[in-house]
Amino acid sequence: MKIIFNIFGKKHTLEIIGLLLNHEKLRFNEIFAFILSSPKTLTARLQDLEIFSILNRTIYKEIPPRVEYSLTEAGRSLEKLFVDISQWIKLWKTDIFNFKHT
């Protein structure tokens, strides 16, 4: 269970994966535009996801250099989990959103 939190429990990780599930590839500034985060935090999350082989970082030798991010096969395989969680939320949203902390 600890490894799950190490991979997916960090700020913006799930947002980045979800975004890349909806786009084949994105550049840093495109991801940054969607995610309200500091560039430092976003860079750290992208590096984490690359280390865990969830995303690919492709560098194009152009001037200026172009870097694109895309999901690996392992990253794409997470799509079913996102669909399952979405269905769970739809099923239980009344209970979830009406929950009151005491």
Per-residue model confidence as pLDDT tens digits over 75-89: 999 999 999 998 988
Residue 101 has pLDDT above 70, yes or no: no
Encoded tokens for 26: 């994105």
Q: Lowest-confidence range among 24-33, 65-74, 80-89?
A: 80-89
Architecture of domain 2-76: Orthogonal Bundle (1.10)
57: phi then psi, degrees, rounded to nearest 5:
-115, 115
Q: Lowest-confidence range among 53-57, 62-66, 91-95?
A: 91-95
Residue 98 CB neighbour total at 10 angstroms: 7
* Pairwise CA distance, residues 20 & 14, whole Å: 10
What residue spans define the domains of the chain? 2-76
pLDDT of amino acid 99: 64
